[in-house]
Amino acid sequence: MTVTLVCDPSEAMELCASQQLYLKPVAKLTISVVLPEHTGSTRAFSKWEVMDKLKNMICPDQFTSVKVSKSTKGFIRFEGEAETKRLVCSLKEKLHGKMIKLNGFKDDLQVVATEASPDLPTPQESEAIMNDRELMEEDLAEQSSDVPNCIHLEGLPCKWFALRGSDSETPSEDILRAVFESFGKIKNVDIPMLDPYRKEVVGGNMNHFIFRGLRTFDAYVQYQESTAFAKAMETLKGMKLMFKGDDGKALACNIKVSADTTNHFSESSINQRNLERLTLQGLERERRREENRGKRGTERILCCHPGK
């Protein structure tokens, strides 16, 4: 997860006005620098030296972030992110087909730049969406229970989904529902981190993380209609979540969106979670009884031996 300050929100689209949340397209560039077979020098290639050359080539424009994504004997591949998709097109023109000259090397290095495609749905997600469309066309309403309708969201900032005007950073299921109901009516929502017993089940640290001061959470959103599920999946893919504050400043973060493959809201899954909760509640009651017995034992000793 990365959180960045948004300097140009022109490509953002509204998601939920009441929570000041928007969707901003991910704008990435894949840059491959081809290494010659014979360098004509004994000096090793420096990835950071090449990266600096790329940054100089796009001046006065800048990457919001750039990193090495792969390095082989034949090429170094960088992943650069820009503020907007329009800027990505400009950066591509500045880089693609150009040559890099490094001191101490005989041959120049060729640059190949392409716009990176947004994260595509997994084969299972693509099949789920395709099956949904086929069922719609055939009007098989009786099979609606078998059509995927639940999305799994990861990396949502807690503060952005908390009650506005409060100091709380605890996400609200009501706000989660209000935000994602823009795609259609919602049947169920679930935020695992709000259940203290499920925190214990998964080790206490699997449902939320802290990055640059922003605590994040996972959530499940189940739609009443499969068409709303498909619309949410297609809209959210390749997008960042953006929050625009009252001061006009905006922050954006990457979120992960996938089709739920665990049947999170199925009867068996719900029963399993309830069973785990009851088991942990029983263990908690037993711990408390043990603690109380220990306290009473200590009090009896003190009463019998007040000088101790």
pLDDT at 262 over 70: yes
User: Edge-to-edge strand order for the sheet containing 239-244?
Assistant: 3-6, 250-254, 239-244, 21-25, 13-16
Higher pLDDT, 104 or 256: 256
User: Edge-to-edge strand order for the sheet containing 75-81?
Assistant: 65-71, 75-81, 28-34, 109-115, 99-100
Segment among 49-58, 133-142, 252-261 with least mean pLDDT: 133-142
- According to the model, what pLDDT value does residue 202 have? 45
The DSSP letter of residue 110 is E
Q: Say how many C-beta atoms besides its own lie within 10 A of residue 169's C-beta.
A: 13
CB 253 within 8 A of CB 3: yes
Q: In 18-37, which positions are buried (b, 16+ CB within 10 angstroms) versus exposed (e)?
A: ebbbbbbebbbbbbbbebee
HSE toward the beta carbon, residue 297, CA cutoff 13 A: 6
- According to the model, what pLDDT value does residue 81 have? 94
pLDDT, one tens digit per residue, over 178-194 is 999 999 999 999 999 99
- According to the model, what pLDDT value does residue 137 have? 46
- According to the model, what pLDDT value does residue 126 have? 53
Segment among 6-20, 43-57, 162-176, 195-209 with least mean pLDDT: 195-209
Which whole number is the average pLDDT over 206-213?
A: 49
- According to the model, what pLDDT value does residue 219 have? 96
Q: Predicted confidence band at 95 (pLDDT cuts at 50, 70, 90)?
A: very high
Tokens for 30, please give them: 């894949």
Q: How far is CA 287 from CA 8, 39, 195, 203, 230, in A?
A: 55, 69, 19, 18, 46
HSE toward the beta carbon, residue 263, CA cutoff 13 A: 10
Q: Average pLDDT of the chain?
A: 84
Which whole number is the average pLDDT over 216-231?
A: 95
pLDDT at 142 over 80: no
Higher pLDDT, 91 or 203: 91
Domains in the chain, ordered, with CATH? 27-115 (3.30.70.330), 123-265 (3.30.70.330)
- According to the model, what pLDDT value does residue 304 have? 67
